[in-house]
A and B are shown apart, each in its own frame.
With several copies, the nearest count.
Chain A
Amino acid sequence: MFKKILIANRGEIAVRVIRACREMKIIPVAVYSEADRKALHVRLAEEAYFIGEAKPSESYLHVEKIIATAKRCGAEAIHPGYGFLAENPRLVKCCEEEGITFIGPPSEPLEVMGEKTSARRKMAAAGVPIIPGTLESVADERELREKAREVGFPLLLKASAGGGGKGLRFVQKEKDLLPAFKLARSEALSSFADPAVYIEKYIEEPHHIEIQILADNFGSVVYLGERECSMQRRYQKVLEETPSPFLDEETREAMGRVAVKAAASIGYRNAGTVEFVVDRDRKFYFLEVNARLQVEHPITEMVTGIDLVKCQLEIAAGSPLPFRQEEVRPQGHSMECRIMAEDPFNDFMPSPGKIVYLHTPAGLGVRDDSGIYEGYEVPLDYDPLLSKLITWGKTREEAILRMRRALSEYQVYGIKTTIPFFQRILLHPRFLAGAYNTHFIAELEKEPDREDPAEEIAALIAAGIKSRRDAQTGVSSHGKSKEKNWRIQGRLENFAKRL
């Protein structure tokens, strides 16, 4: 096994990998940008090196700096996390040249899968069902119009280099096509340094369901069940659960087998995810391979008891998979809420800034994979993901009730978060019934929000108490003396006895 690993990422996923390293007696090495000098992943690492400006291209996306840092500190391997360089074939090639192990797939499947159109061509050839649409990215506006008419509306424009909902646009009618194309290209360029966009037929009432796979270097590929990822807002996943309340056992197994076939057909190695769109009749279509650890990997860990990051390290170190398909037996139910620095009461505007107050939930069946701490200043330069709150329950109902309990304990003040938004989702009858698809949140946002009159009264009382305190004394002094009064009681008892 490796002695030292460099983690070429930040935030909660860097923390996640650091924890796995520490549990394997591997020295975890963090890298950090100017904006991350005080970040949690730096605090929890054993070693940490500064790599440049806040701008990702100068730090977390800078292949040469990452490689140089790994060589300088003697790291034998690099874990890329997700995002940034996670699916960048150039990093993989540089690693190969420098004799550093890249913890992920080799460069060939990365190249095939990283470009979504080549992935579609490859999968179609391997007999994996794909969504109707273009097999190449769209060259110009003329071709756009032409191909769009062929595919038919509504349709999706997708970044060829994309993933994670960036550079993705839904187009209802032809008149929206051109502005959507421009925005998709601009976002794709800014996110992936590649503006190429292709067209896919839009599946009605779609479910996004993905299969986790693990592939070792000895030809063994297994799937670890599915993740229901249909709870999306603006094509971004916000809540995931496993098992999917929508799938039946037959479809689940069929998808697992197809995922293994898809991975095997491209010589995939290490942990990966095969994403599918499933229509209302439970017909499923290949969407993409995420050639990395997914944000939502923890829910699979919770039901299978398998530590996916440790598996990644073991596979990369050349170990064979320690279990076979029939030994994977998921237990219970797990879900994850992505706590984002966004204001759900103001159109989910990003909300970077200082966390002045933080209480995190804990206890049985609750896992908080977080990248923040009290006093931390969330930078505006990166993803708004603060933390992933994960629960496990014997049943879906228990996992939901536990999530509600955990959310009620989770308090973040100083910046806005999506916690109240999840509280809304977790009380919604359609969510409770498991009857939601990717349209759910858009529909939810049209409904009136819950209101608790008791909270309003408590707020007014709190304002009154604060005003009273401010009026009676200077701010703070009164409360302190009051506090002291209670502590003084023991002493008074003593004095009384002596007199």
Chain B
Amino acid sequence: MNFLFWLGQKEVKVSLEAVGDNLLRVSVGDTAHDVSAEFIGQEEILLNVDGRIFNVIVHSDSLSHSVFINGRLFRIEKRSALKILREEKGRQKKRDVKTTMPGRVVQVLAAPGDGVQEGQPVLVLEAMKMQNEIKAPQAGQLARVCFRAGEYVEAGSVLFTVE
């Protein structure tokens, strides 16, 4: 069984072949590995790669696998690298700035219509007792600011848009 993945900007071919009870031959690019894998629960895999042990958590959606190993998160895309690149370019014209954390907006430092520099703080978000400045990812004009001071923000919300 063959799969094509994208990690970072790299395209990698991964092919799997069952070679015995609980034993797989897995090629990653040009290199082959002896692998056994035990599922513990739905998302946790105890992986044995050429004898070396990895405790892995794989959280999958239709677009990608998020693989968590030794505290690191690898986002392995099922889509083509080209497509991702194209999307990113599209985004560069008009960029939504989202927050990865929930929190409370403490202060809004710029208004829609203002010109902003790359790295300029646009608003201050407080979560877990820490105030974090959220900065403009590129120079441009502030198209909108979606929250006012004092409002709660959920993870994934668009905070503001830079054009």
Contact = CB atoms under 8 A, between A and B. Distances in A.
Q: In the complex, is A directly touching B at CB under 8 Å?
A: yes
Interface of A: 29-30, 37-38, 42-50, 73, 166, 183, 186-187, 190-191, 341, 343, 345-347, 349-353, 357, 359, 375, 380-384, 407-408, 411, 413, 416-417, 419-420, 423, 452, 454-471, 475-476, 479, 482-483, 490-491, 493-494, 497
A352 B129 CA distance: 12
Interface string B1-43: 1010101000010111000001010101001010111111111
B88 interface: no
B5 to A, nearest CB: 6
Given A416-B73, A464-B14, 7 more contacts: A29-B51, A37-B22, A37-B46, A459-B7, A462-B54, A462-B69, A467-B60
16 contacts: A30-B53, A50-B22, A343-B100, A349-B132, A350-B130, A351-B101, A353-B155, A380-B128, A381-B128, A416-B73, A456-B74, A457-B49, A460-B14, A463-B14, A467-B65, A491-B154
Contacts of A382: 128-129
Contact of B101 (A47, A349, A423, A454): A349
B67 to A, nearest CB: 4
A375 B106 contact: no
B138 interface: no
B126 to A, nearest CB: 7
Contact of B126 (A190, A419, A459, A494): A190
Nearest to B39: A479
B122 interface: no
Given A465-B35, A490-B152, A459 B74 contact: yes
B107 A186 contact: yes
A52 B1 CA distance: 28
A44 B54 CA distance: 9
Main secondary structure of the interface of B (DSSP, over half): strand
Given A455-B69, A461-B35, A375 B47 contact: no
A367 B154 CA distance: 34
A466 B53 contact: no
Contacts of B46: 37-38, 42-43
A299 to B, nearest CB: 23
Interface in B106-163: 106-107, 126-132, 148, 150-152, 154-155
A380 B103 contact: yes
A218 B60 CA distance: 58
A423 B128 contact: no
A463 B76 contact: yes
Nearest to B154: A491
Nearest to A476: B42
B44 A357 contact: yes
A233 B12 CA distance: 37
A407 B52 CA distance: 18
B51 A73 contact: yes
Contacts of B36: 37, 50
Contacts of A416: 73
A45 B14 CA distance: 26
A247 B107 CA distance: 43
Interface in B45-75: 45-49, 51-58, 60, 65, 67-74
Contact of B150 (A42, A359, A407, A497): A497
Given A423-B71, A460-B76, A466-B58, A191 B129 contact: yes
A454 B51 CA distance: 12
A383 B126 CA distance: 11
Contact of A38 (B16, B40, B65, B148): B40
B87 to A, nearest CB: 20
A191 B131 CA distance: 10
Contacts of B38: 37-38
B48 A375 contact: no
A455 B72 contact: yes
Contacts of A43: 46, 53, 55
Contact of A46 (B47, B52, B65): B52
A463 B65 contact: yes
Contact of A494 (B76, B101, B151): B151
B151 A497 contact: yes
Contact of A383 (B51, B53, B76, B128): B128
A83 B51 CA distance: 25
